Amino acid sequence: MHRRRCRSAILAVGMIASLFVPTVVTAPPAVAAPSGSKKVIVQLFEWNWPSVAAECQSTLGPKGYGYVQVSPPQEHVRGSQWWLAYQPVSYRIESRKGTRAQFQSMVNTCHAAGVKVIVDAVINHMSGQDAGGTGWAGSSYGHYDYPGNYQSQDFHYCGRNGNNDIANYGDRYEVQNCELVNLADLKTESDYVRGRIAAYLNDLLSLGVDGFRMDASKHMPAADIAAIKARLSRPAYIVQEVIHGAGEPIQPTEYTGNGDVHEFRYGKDLARVFRSERLAYLSNFGTGWGHLPSGPAAVFVDNHDTQRDTGGVLTYRDRGIYALANAFMLAWPYGSPTVMSSYTFSNRDQGPPSDGNNKTLNTTCYSGWECEHRWPVIANMVGFRNATEGAGVSNWYDNGNNHIAFSRTGKGYLTVNDEDQAITGRSYSTGLPAGRYCDVIHGTFSNGSCSGPLITVDANGWFTANVPPHDAIAIHTNARL
């Protein structure tokens, strides 16, 4: 029988509990997987541009994050809900998150800090407002009329279900030609529409953007995305949102020729294992579980959509167990990881902290903003990921239940104890060079010193340590004293 631990045990105050919050042309080549030596992406969901810029300087660059994924920057409908940013009314870079000039300044600042910028690009559809209105930057629009961009002939009208909405995800035509919750569905097979979308993406590239998260990619044929990509002015990292559905005709594997694809099963499977199964099952996590191949897989514990689905994934509310799951993701060499950074919400539609005009406020971490990417366990494991890039897994150990350990061969070592009791007196075979290492789960390595406990690896590559319940130890060669 699988052990089902009680929630009080998960949230018990242990060593890790103090670590949540610190005190048609030739297509450009596919950029499959983030490039460079720093590949971890952080999704600063709904942060405004001045706050993203400041975070690149203060935290993302110094902690080794390679990319920041920002929310949609184009003009959108007015209102307070988070999803209004996914209802564009024009391609002007003017939104509740800031102006075009602020966006440009943010990109420049992040680049200066060594952080690349990925834009969440909404290209499948326009707004879902039947009555139309005036967008954030003053552009007038109708449901199927966007002056200077699109008119009625540029949209799909599938003629199904009484309202053109998608009802049957088992029908490929319906999923890619009907409307996603009333959002006006663009004819992405149209040469004109492809040109307008490409012009928007190229405008962002001209501002220095390094890549795109293609929102709602499942609702566009992979060939349409390829045709739009072929019009880009230079290579860019591409990651596509394609949610796997068992038995559905549209599968994530169709899109890997265009770039990376989000592997939504990853976060759900990881949550199930941490909540109610055994960490020992993770010895072949990823491809061995029927997930996408590691190369094009973009993975996350949660994102802005899944954290709003009841019980499906771990989120900031899970505190310690969430930190451990992120530590595992950053240590395990499958896929390209994205760390989520949220704001606090109490209902599914709630938008980010805003002023009376719904303009997004500057981010103040731990006051309305969760800032999970700053939690020491998560932030320090970004350095572990960078240090172990390219190394395989060796020295796997598990106790058949919820204590696991493994090496990233010659570069790092992680042990996770998610049992309800401490693991004491054990020795661990790391395969690492002898020396004293900073335990980056509990301390930060900086300027040759460690703010937390040290782990001593002997001449044979072993160390001995006690691991409290629901806690971990991680060491790597870039944090060796």
Structure tokens at 336: 């390209």
What angle, 0 to 180 degrees and rounded to 10, lies between the N-to-C axes of helices 320-331 and 376-387? 10
Q: For residues 181 and 178, give the distance between their C-alpha atoms in angstroms, rounded to a whole number.
A: 9
- Name the catalytic one among 215, 260, 263, 418: 215
Cβ atoms of residues 437 and 417 within 8 Å: no
Nearest residue to 109 via CA among 38, 40, 44, 49: 49
Q: For residues 350 and 82, give the distance between their C-alpha atoms in angstroms, rounded to a whole number.
A: 6
Residue 90 neighbours by CB under 8 Å, 6+ apart: 74, 75, 135, 137, 139, 141, 146, 148, 149
Q: For residues 8 and 381, give the distance between their C-alpha atoms in angstroms, rounded to a whole number.
A: 26
Cβ atoms of residues 378 and 348 within 8 Å: no
| DSSP H or E stretch at residue 181 | none
Q: For residues 159 and 162, give the distance between their C-alpha atoms in angstroms, rounded to a whole number.
A: 7
| DSSP H or E stretch at residue 67 | strand 67-70
241 catalytic, yes or no? Answer: yes
- Residue 79 backbone zone (phi > 0: left; psi -120 to 50: alpha; other: beta): left
Nearest residue to 474 via CA among 411, 391, 393: 411
Residue 180 neighbours by CB under 8 Å, 6+ apart: 124, 125, 165, 166, 216, 219
Report helix, strand or coil for 138.
coil
Structure tokens at 100: 């075009």
- Name the catalytic one among 241, 269, 419, 471: 241
What angle, 0 to 180 degrees and rounded to 10, lies between the N-to-C axes of helices 264-276 and 320-331? 130
- Residue 155 backbone zone (phi > 0: left; psi -120 to 50: alpha; other: beta): beta
Q: To which residue do tokens 């696991």 refer?
A: 404
| DSSP H or E stretch at residue 51 | helix 49-55
Amino acid found at 183: L
Strands 336-341 and 41-44: parallel
- Helices and strands counted in the chain (H then E): 10, 20
Cβ atoms of residues 388 and 331 within 8 Å: yes
Q: For residues 232 and 238, give the distance between their C-alpha atoms in angstroms, rounded to a whole number.
A: 11
215 catalytic, yes or no? Answer: yes
- Positions annotated as catalytic residues are 215, 241
